[in-house]
Amino acid sequence: MQCLSQVLYIKTTPERLWEALTDDETRRRYNFGVGVTSDWTAGSSYAGVHPMAPAPLVEGENLEVDPPHRLVQSFRALWSDDVKREGTSRVTYEIEQVGDSCGLTVTHDQLHADASPQLYGGWPMILSGLKTVLETGETLTTPGSLMYAQGPPPAA
């Protein structure tokens, strides 16, 4: 099994960071246009949706929901047959107050040793976009964001 973990520091509050992770419109701004729908309770489902996609691109279950400190979700990618075959992995967001900022640790684990980079390769762009939105209010124009702004995401 493979585990990827990234830590970043964002000048924001835990509450604003939590909202950015769980609010559909905010998430679209830094997550390649993909928002998220859920009721954000432990055991509930969530779906990653894009306005130009006919079906969710990601789905899973909220395994732990402890606002504004910790969110653990199962993660099943649906945007192509290749990633669907990868099965379910897990993503954990841990938020820690650090002075006037927050430390955010994102761990994507339970990935197969030879997992497709499509499952985890976008994290640097997504997390950089999250930091930019929270610190400046502007949208970061990463290659992935630009690609999906110009047309529909890959077929589900």
Structure confidence at residue 126 (pLDDT): 93
Q: Which position has the token pair 């732990």?
A: 64
Provide the pLDDT for residue 156.
42
> How far is it, in rounded angstroms, from Cα 62 to Cα 36?
12
pLDDT of residue 1: 72
Yes or no: say if 140 and 30 are a contact pair by the CB < 8 Å rule.
yes
d(CA 139, CA 124): 15
What integer pLDDT is reported at residue 147 of this predicted model? Answer: 62
User: For the chain, which domains are there?
Assistant: 2-149 (3.30.530.20)
pLDDT tens digits, residue range 35-57?
Answer: 999 999 999 999 999 988 899 99
pLDDT of the residue at 3: 87
- Provide the pLDDT for residue 119: 87
pTM: 0.90
List, for the chain, all residue ranges whose pLDDT scores fall below the cut of 70.
Answer: 143-156
